[in-house]
Amino acid sequence: MGRSDDKEEPVTGTRPPTSRDVAERAGVSQATVSLVLRERWRGRVSPARVDAVRIAARELGYRPNQAARSLRLGRVRTALVVVPALSNDFFARMHSGAARVAGERDLRLVLYPSPEGVGPAPDPFESASATLDGVLASSMAAEALTALSGGGLPLVMVDSEPGRAPAAATVNPDIEAGMRLVVEHLRALGHRRVAHIAADVDSWTFAVRARVLAAGLGLTPGGAPPTERAPLSVRGGLAAAERALAARPRPTALVCDDDLLAAGACKAARRLGLRVPEDVSVTGFDDLALATAVEPELTTVNLPAEELGAAGMRTLLTVLDGETAPDAVLPVRLMRRGTTAAPSSD
């Protein structure tokens, strides 16, 4: 352990940074640099030194020699990343975070947008367990990955129900805290007539949002606010919001499960001659790029998509190294913007 087992790239012209350079800048040993960059530092290196190594490596532009490491391991490890659709900003950012960490650890990725969304994901290979080392999947039921994980392939789930076999671990945004932030924000503004524009998707994350919303509004267990279900699209949100706003008395706030639904809700309000937020407040969830493209900008819950992907990939790498990985929950934030205000006196 007195020296790093990374083989440095040969010096050609301007010498590329080495692990020794990183160690000197961070004020640690090369062995510590190796542990940190291989994500094997937990219980061995203090968080402060981990941060120092990562900052030094980033400032120096240091990258371990991928070819040398592949020769040492005998082959290059490969993981499958399964997402419902890359056309969605959330999943694109999640993949970006996962790819960044995979690149730092010499792990190759195969991207697989599952055509069935939260439904069963067929094995894209003759035998995934013979071709891959692990699977990172987002926003799906663990049972949907049976064809991919049935051969004992390590599986880590992101934005998915924790504790469900065959997943080795889950990495989730704090969905419960996010919806509580929405409810507390609206109640503090004075809203009492709240309707729910719910995603018409049978998944854990949307069930949690509905449950926490009902509890936050003080409804009895099993009760629910006025709810209109909709496909996850702007058009779906528009139609559902038009139905919700036709109720009498009209709701003063629409809580939407997703930013796409919220954008549709804002369009519905305008088509009905209502002002957002003066006549009706609207909230979203996810903080997609769309949230700041609409006018007024959308009050929504920011889910750290890129960090979710990065944390999910680190967890998968921990599992691939033969270590136990705990479930993780990442914090979320409420982005207070222009679509919420106190209800009018009318």
Q: What is the pLDDT of residues 261-315, one digit of tens each?
A: 999 999 999 999 999 999 999 999 999 999 999 999 999 999 999 999 999 999 9
Question: Higher model confidence: residue 203 or residue 310?
Answer: 310
What's residue 44's pLDDT? Answer: 79
As a whole-number percent, the residues of the chain with pLDDT over 90 amount to: 51
Q: pLDDT: is 326 or 31 the higher one?
A: 326
- pLDDT at res. 111: 84
Question: Amino acid identity, residue 65?
Answer: N
Q: Is the pLDDT of residue 72 over 50?
A: no
CATH of domain 1-64: 1.10.260.40
Select the highest-mean-pLDDT range: 3-7, 149-153, 222-226, 303-307.
303-307
Contact by Cβ (8 Å): 271, 264:
no
Q: What is the mean pLDDT of residues 121-138?
A: 65
Q: What is the CATH number assigned to the segment(s) 175-303? A: 3.40.50.2300
User: Taking residues 61-71, what's their average pLDDT?
Assistant: 53
> Looking at per-residue confidence, does 127 or 60 come out higher?
60
Largest CA distance in the chain: 75
Q: What is the pLDDT of residue 4?
A: 39
Query: How many Cβ atoms sit within 10 Å of the Cβ of residue 289?
Result: 11
Query: Between residues 34 and 211, which one has the greater pLDDT?
Result: 211
Query: Where are any strands of DSSP class E within the chain?
Result: 78-83, 108-113, 134-138, 155-158, 169-173, 194-199, 227-230, 253-256, 281-283, 300-302, 328-330, 333-335
Mean pLDDT on 328-343: 97
Total residue length of the chain: 346
d(CA 139, CA 52): 33
**Distance in angstroms (rounded) separating the CA atoms of residues 158 and 169:** 9
The SS3 call for residue 251 is coil
Mean pLDDT of the chain: 84
Alpha carbon distance 256, 241 (integer Å) = 9
Burial of residue 273 (CB within 10 Å: 0-12, 13-18, 19+) is: exposed
**Is pLDDT of 316 > 50?**
yes
What was the pLDDT predicted at 50? 87
What stretch(es) of the chain map to CATH 1.10.260.40?
1-64
Percent of the chain scoring above 70 in pLDDT: 82
Show the tokens assigned to 142: 């663990």
Identify the band that residue 18 occupies on the pLDDT scale cut at 50, 70 and 90: confident
What's the CATH fold of domain 70-172+305-329? Answer: Rossmann fold (3.40.50)
What stretch(es) of the chain map to CATH 3.40.50.2300? 70-172+305-329, 175-303
Identify the pLDDT of residue 156: 92
Greatest mean pLDDT among 32-46, 63-77, 136-150, 228-242: 228-242
Amino acid at site 132 = L
The dihedral over CA atoms of 290, 295, 297, 300, expressed in degrees to the nearest 10, equals: -60
Hey, what are 198's tokens? 């719910």
The amino acid at residue 322 is G
Q: How far apart are CA 288 and CA 220, in angstroms?
A: 32
Rounded to an integer, what distance in angstroms lies between the CA atom of residue 289 and that of residue 273? 26
Given a cut of 60, is residue 318 above it in pLDDT?
A: yes
